[in-house]
Amino acid sequence: MNAVSPPEDPISSSSGASQPIQVFLLDDHEVVRRGVRDLLQAEENIAVVGEAGTCAQALVRIPALRPQVAVLDMRLPDGNGVTLCRELRSRMPELACLILTSFDDDDALLDSIMAGAAGYVLKQIKGSDLVTAVRTVASGQSMLDPATTGRLMASLRRPQAPTPQADPVLAQLTEREMAILNLIGDGLTNRQIGETLFLAEKTIKNHISRILAKLGVERRIQAAMLVGRDRDQSLR
């Protein structure tokens, strides 16, 4: 008489369930990395497989380790999490990027969405909620709030009504382009503007090219003069 084998445990027999979620941490503050690592490592099915403090380090280590989830700080000494997310996902489309930031900013959230981030959470988040966020994006779901995302997309589609005092030439610019133009008027370089808005310097150059075309000028100093004139009029 043949012995009957006991039924397999569906959890232990499942290839996905028996393997921990592999996570990579990127933050330039060691204390923050240590806190997040300890929090995640306390979970039995989550393993932190690597860490970095700069974008350059992350670009080398993440493709080598191939984690399922990359928790990326927004502001870094040599770049930002959004640009890094875009670069990593171009190499590893299966990677789920979770942007962790101190800044509750609609533009940064929109940039994260456009870069392909699976989630965007604030550093003020509760530990248990961060664990949930990691599990959520690892399962292929999104941690981007539908209401916030919908509001952002609606604002993009809705033309901005100029104020009565607004220069009609400047009124044709988008909010992002106007923000860049104001920073040009403040004398910031492309690199400084990128650091302020968490965008790559190349992206800023592309925005400025469109701004100059819309304003009908060839040089950024001419654009700066236009925004300076608009500021003077608003003070009258």
Range with top average pLDDT, 70-84, 174-188, 211-225:
70-84
Give the model's confidence band at 185: pLDDT under 50 very low, under 70 low, under 90 confident, else very high: confident
Range with top average pLDDT, 4-8, 126-130, 195-199:
126-130
Q: 63-108 pLDDT, tens per residue? A: 999 999 999 998 899 988 988 999 999 999 999 999 998 876 666 7
- Alpha-carbon radius of gyration of the chain: 23
Q: Give helix 175-185 / helix 190-197 axis angle, nearest 10°.
A: 130
Burial track 91-121 (b if 16+ CB lie within 10 A, e otherwise): eeeebbbbbbbeeeeeebbbbbbebbbbbbb
**Using CA atoms in the order 97, 103, 106, 107, what is the torsion angle rounded to 10 degrees?**
-80
What percent of the chain shows pLDDT beyond 90?
Answer: 36
Give the model's confidence band at 186: pLDDT under 50 very low, under 70 low, under 90 confident, else very high: confident
More confident of the two residues 4 and 210: 210
3-state secondary structure 185-224: HCCCCHHHHHHHHCCCHHHHHHHHHHHHHHHCCCCHHHHH
> What mean pLDDT is reported for the chain?
80
Per-residue pLDDT, 171: 79
Per-residue pLDDT, 152: 59
Q: 110-156 pLDDT, tens per residue? A: 778 878 899 988 888 899 999 999 999 999 998 875 555 665 556 55
Indicate yes or no: pTM above 0.75: no
**Is the per-residue pLDDT at 6 higher than 90?**
no
Q: 38-64 pLDDT, tens per residue? A: 999 999 899 999 999 999 999 999 999
Q: What is the DSSP letter of 171?
A: G
Give the model's confidence band at 229: pLDDT under 50 very low, under 70 low, under 90 confident, else very high: low
Per-residue pLDDT, 176: 87
User: What does the pLDDT average to over 206-212?
Assistant: 88
